Chains A and B, each alone.
Chain A
Amino acid sequence: TQLLEQSPQFLSIQEGENLTVYCNSSSVFSSLQWYRQEPGEGPVLLVTVVTGGEVKKLKRLTFQFGDARKDSSLHITAAQPGDTGLYLCAGVAFYGGSQGNLIFGKGTKLSVKP
């Protein structure tokens, strides 16, 4: 069974601090996505990374896909209260399954205090 271990599970920081969320697996993924979910809503796609070593930036968010395509990280610079939410990583298995057959991590619940 493929698993995506996400850490930390919970993170509470002050506005202006930096943070990194990690997503690790012993399996190789063909692509990996990061989602953000707010209470009462479904996950919203932030980014998809496909190439090993790929780095993508989305304003203050930086996403990296590991060289071996087994891990990924999300770094937020100067966090703001609006960044509060549940961050989920999800991977597509390298062998078999459709693109929608996503393997999700359990999520990181981020709280940014003003």
Chain B
Amino acid sequence: EAGVTQFPSHSVIEKGQTVTLRCDPISGHDNLYWYRRVMGKEIKFLLHFVKESKQDESGMPNNRFLAERTGGTYSTLKVQPAELEDSGVYFCASSQDGLVGNTIYFGEGSWLTVV
């Protein structure tokens, strides 16, 4: 069974440009999460989808970030326009349900460098 897959694995863009990150969750997982880790900091939660609905988007830093999950399958996270402080690794994760103790499976991450 395929795990959580993310694309691209690495991206280098200039400040002001747009980048779109894609995540394919494990098949059948209704819950999809986005996290990010910037240099020297801890991993931080961005948002949580249940199917195509945003269940919790309390971690989204500002309106330059737009996450979508049309059709409740794959998700995209767009950063527009990108700023230097957006550099870091963006993790996507999925789980079958959102209950306590349910395993959350992480992808390998998308490394973003804004120059």
* From B4, B43, B98, B100, contact of A50 by CB (8 A): B100
Query: In the complex, what's the smallest C-beta–C-beta distance from A107 to chain B, in angstroms?
Result: 7
Query: In the complex, what's the smallest C-beta–C-beta distance from B48 to chain A, in angstroms?
Result: 5
Which of the segments A11-19, A66-74, A94-102 contacts the partner chain?
A: A94-102
CB pair A97–B56 under 8 Å, yes or no, is yes
Query: In the complex, what's the smallest C-beta–C-beta distance from B24 to chain A, in angstroms?
Result: 13
CB pair B93–A42 under 8 Å, yes or no, is yes
CB pair B93–A100 under 8 Å, yes or no, is yes
CB pair B42–A98 under 8 Å, yes or no, is no
User: Secondary structure at chain A's binding surface: helix, strand, loop or mixed?
Assistant: loop
User: Secondary structure at chain B's binding surface: helix, strand, loop or mixed?
Assistant: loop
Q: In the complex, which range does the number of interface residues on chain B fall in?
A: 20 to 34
Query: In the complex, what's the smallest C-beta–C-beta distance from A112 to chain B, in angstroms?
Result: 23
* A48-B42 CB under 8 A given contacts A41-B108, A97-B56, A100-B95: no
CB closest chain-A residue, reference B32 = A100
* From B31, B48, B58, B100, contact of A48 by CB (8 A): B100
* A104-B104 CB under 8 A given contacts A97-B56, A98-B48, A98-B98: no
* From B4, B43, B93, B100, contact of A31 by CB (8 A): B100
Residues of B at the A interface (CB closer than 8 Å) are 4, 31, 33, 35, 41-45, 48, 55-56, 58-59, 91, 93, 95, 98-109
